[in-house]
A = this chain, B = another copy of it.
Amino acid sequence: MFGWTGRVLRVNLGEKTWKIEPIRSEDARLFIGARGLGTKYYIDEVDPTVDPLSPENKLIFATGPLTGTLTTSSGRYDVITKGPLTGTIAASNSGGFWGPELKYAGFDMVILEGKAKAPVYIYIYNDMIEIRDARHLWGKDVHSVTDSLLTETDSEAKVACIGPAGENLVKFACIMNEKDRAAGRSGVGAVMGSKNLKAIVVRGTKGIKVADRDAVFQSVAAARKKLKEHPVTSGGLPTFGTNVLVGIINSAGALPTRNFREAIFEGADKVSAETYNEKNLIKNKGCMGCPIGCGRVAKSNGIYVGQGEGPEYESTWSFGPDCGIDDIDAIVKANFICNELGMDTITLGSTIACAMELYEMGVLTENETGYDLHFGNVNAMVKLTEDTAYRRGFGDELAEGSWRLAEKWGHPELSMTVKKQEMPAYDPRALQGMGLEYATSNRGGCHVRGYLTSPEVLGAPEKIDPEDNETKPVWLKAFQDLTAALDSAGMCLFTTFALGAADIAPQLAAVTGVDYTEESFMQAGDRIWNLERLFNMKAGLSKSDDTLPPRLLKDPIPNGPMKGRVNRLDSMLPQYYSLRGWNEEGIPTEEKLIELGLASYL
């Protein structure tokens, strides 16, 4: 095989055994890799009603055929499991160098089964696999355990690990690699913690064979040229990182503020990319083989002094505008804490925002929270970030996410979630397409499952009206399918500002030797999307879960340029179902599943 290494490592943590299996090559062709192929393996092996934190659940680390190759921005891998936060399929995507290193060790995927009796870590050095005692590492934060593991193994190894949050089964714990890169959402880190697995350390020194080297060079050179010419991938992202969006989204009247009560933030300038670049940025830092290099090494100042990476725009938003906070150093610090302790910034910030609204309503008081939790309380936000990872005090409630918190206190409508996962930093009342995207995302509230902000606000690949409802189902299906295929190939979503399937499929074909075309690549995305949908159906979800919090459907935006709007999901969902080849209940039709080769899942 080309692109794929052709090998899967299967580890049984309970029995401390492992074996190497050949990859199922026909599945690889159809589901590509990473998110798609990992999900295919997962669904074929795990009961959809499994308790995510039980030993019966499995956890799959999966790379794509492009991961670690010279193709554009292909440093990605996915972690696939059932999410403890959502109860849906979870596929959390991360960049950096860990995924490439796994390929260089000769593996496309690592499948983890069972639960270790005591904490362990896995050390992979090419074909040498060891399951090692990790009791001395349990409790350590992400940065210190990474340093320890590099000393214990090989200084050039790559470490993916959990922090205290994963150990403590925080429902939105991440898996972190190279210290500050996160497979962030849905609680994949809690699943790793439930298996008593602290880390997977990988060192690989093998190559990846590609099918047609000349075609690789031609297609990659052409793609890099487009990335270099596009203002987002050559200008905005390298210069400002994703934080460039603070000003843009606020100006569009789509910046959720104080738990989505408002849609513009009076302190946006104080937390903008320009402010961050001036006060916090140290330097850029890219993932493997990426010509964009959007990552940021930064510091926080004053009483919130610290150093690390990030935050991304959505993290700036969650700890900032969504909590009514305009202190950039506190926001940067909270993000650092999340990296060090291993938590999803979007869910945590939004959960704190939800608690703040409950507090302002008087439902929660300082008796329960231990802090004055009015919107804008910087200190409480930073303290609770740390408390949550250790489930200290009120942090123990926050560790369950906003849906369980709001439901417990009698106001589930105040949880700004879809399928129990917190929506990021784009108000669906201002951006109709993003509303449909959140409502239909297979892993719940999420912006990277069909990022319609790109056409609705940024004008890539072209500008469309954010208020229009009619064209959004068509746009969304295309974006969802493209993203599913792209994630599965191992390439970064950020390439799609400049590249489309017509640029990516040739790279995939050149690397794998499989004749992926623009059409078959997009169809693979459709197939993966439907497979994820089928899992969720079998896990107990239904049409009623394809919705938004009532606030976004009923309460008009009170201020800013989009004042008065609500999201008109009802006018888009039927058309979306129809385009997808689903019936009125949102269930894939037999005809559709036969077309996609998924009939066996009927």
A38 CB, nearest partner CB in chain B, Å: 28
Cβ-closest chain B residue relative to A206: B156
Q: Of B205, B214, B224, B225, which is within 8 A of A225 by CB?
A: B214
Interface string of A204-247 (1 = CB under 8 A from B): 01000000011001101110110010000000000000000000
Which of A70, A213, A221, A224 neighbours the largest number of chain B CB atoms within 10 Å of its CB? Answer: A221
* Chain B residues near A70 (CB-CB < 8 A): 70, 217
Q: Of B213, B217, B222, B291, which is within 8 A of A213 by CB?
A: B291
A120 CB, nearest partner CB in chain B, Å: 26
A221 to B220, CA, bound (A): 9
A498 CB, nearest partner CB in chain B, Å: 13
How often does this chain occur in the complex, in copies?
Answer: 2
Cβ-closest chain B residue relative to A213: B291
* Chain B residues near A217 (CB-CB < 8 A): 70, 217, 220-221, 224
The verdict on A291 contacting B214 (CB below 8 Å), with A70-B70, A205-B205 known, is yes
A228 to B217, CA, bound (A): 12
A421 to B476, CA, bound (A): 72
A504 CB, nearest partner CB in chain B, Å: 16
A495 CB, nearest partner CB in chain B, Å: 14
The verdict on A224 contacting B214 (CB below 8 Å), with A70-B70, A156-B205, A205-B205 known, is yes
A222 to B224, CA, bound (A): 14
* Chain B residues near A225 (CB-CB < 8 A): 214, 218
A291 to B224, CA, bound (A): 21
A117 to B205, CA, bound (A): 35
A188 to B351, CA, bound (A): 72
Cβ-closest chain B residue relative to A203: B205
* Chain B residues near A156 (CB-CB < 8 A): 205
A180 CB, nearest partner CB in chain B, Å: 21
* Chain B residues near A221 (CB-CB < 8 A): 217-218, 220-222
A128 to B348, CA, bound (A): 46
A156 to B222, CA, bound (A): 34
A224 to B221, CA, bound (A): 12
Interface string of A516-537 (1 = CB under 8 A from B): 0000000000000000000000
Cβ-closest chain B residue relative to A72: B217
Cβ-closest chain B residue relative to A223: B217
A37 CB, nearest partner CB in chain B, Å: 28
Q: Of B214, B220, B291, which is within 8 A of A228 by CB?
A: B214
A209 CB, nearest partner CB in chain B, Å: 13
A523 CB, nearest partner CB in chain B, Å: 28
Give the B-binding residues of A (Cβ under 8 A). 70, 156, 205, 213-214, 217-218, 220-222, 224-225, 228, 291
20 A–B contacts from the bound complex (CB under 8 Å): A70-B70, A70-B217, A156-B205, A205-B205, A213-B224, A213-B291, A214-B224, A214-B225, A214-B228, A214-B291, A217-B217, A217-B220, A217-B221, A217-B224, A218-B221, A218-B224, A218-B225, A220-B221, A221-B221, A221-B222
- Across the A-B interface, the 5 shortest Cβ-Cβ residue pairs: A221-B221, A217-B221, A214-B224, A218-B221, A217-B224
